[in-house]
Structure 1
Amino acid sequence: MNIERFKAILEAYGADPDRWPEAERDDAVAFLRSERSAQAAHDAAAELDGLLAPAAISAMPSEILTARLLRAVPQPEFLADWKRVAAAAALALAIGLGGGYVSGTLVPPADEEAYYEIAFDGLDSEVQFDWEGGA
């Protein structure tokens, strides 16, 4: 253990040895007991921990503050106006279904042959298929 590593442990984990990394704890405690510079760094870290301890206790906001903060958050535009979005989607669906029906693509053909003609209209005309017995 050297003073640089010891100071790094103090900066990262504070002065309480119980919070230090377990793998280095014994070496750090022995270094603290044997080195005067380590004791001075530890005292400074302990003083800082004492200053920060009250802040850690009161870090949670009250319920009133939490409610005020949540009310102050602006709503996204699309959520605030969801009725207009739903109406637009329903209108688009109605127009699409109505247009499809009027154009005849949703109107059922008169006979079974018309179904096959519509379904296979784009196939090569040279390929013949016997629906009853195969190709």
Structure 2
Amino acid sequence: MVARRGFGHPEVYAAVFALSFAVARFAPWLVAGLGCPFRALTGVPCATCGMTRAFVRLAHGEVAAAALASPFGALLAAGAWLFAAAAAVRLALGLPWPRVSAGAARRLALLGVLALLANWAFLVVADRP
């Protein structure tokens, strides 16, 4: 007998990621933005400055503009939306999620932190609002 897997954490994340695309694509007020409080206080962009603009621009198909707004934000958006699409395909085909070892998860987390730090360095050097 095959065990049926319910709606779990990966599916919740996939739904949130799919919703983030819909909001980035169809919520015009996101383009204006509220500004970064960290930047207002220090004059230096924060590590996540430009991510909303990157999500919105990528959702509109403006890949180069998204990468210029925040390279990590553009990669994060693309990865999240690909994950949502893969989750939908996996669910439709009834396939299981691949197993990720604890060591691989730690390496991926470290890679994410390093990518965020590299993004911050890019934003500080580029220094544009």
Higher relative contact order (CA 8 A, sep 6+): 2
TM-score (norm 2): 0.24
Select the structure of larger CA radius of gyration. Answer: 1
TM-score (norm 1): 0.23
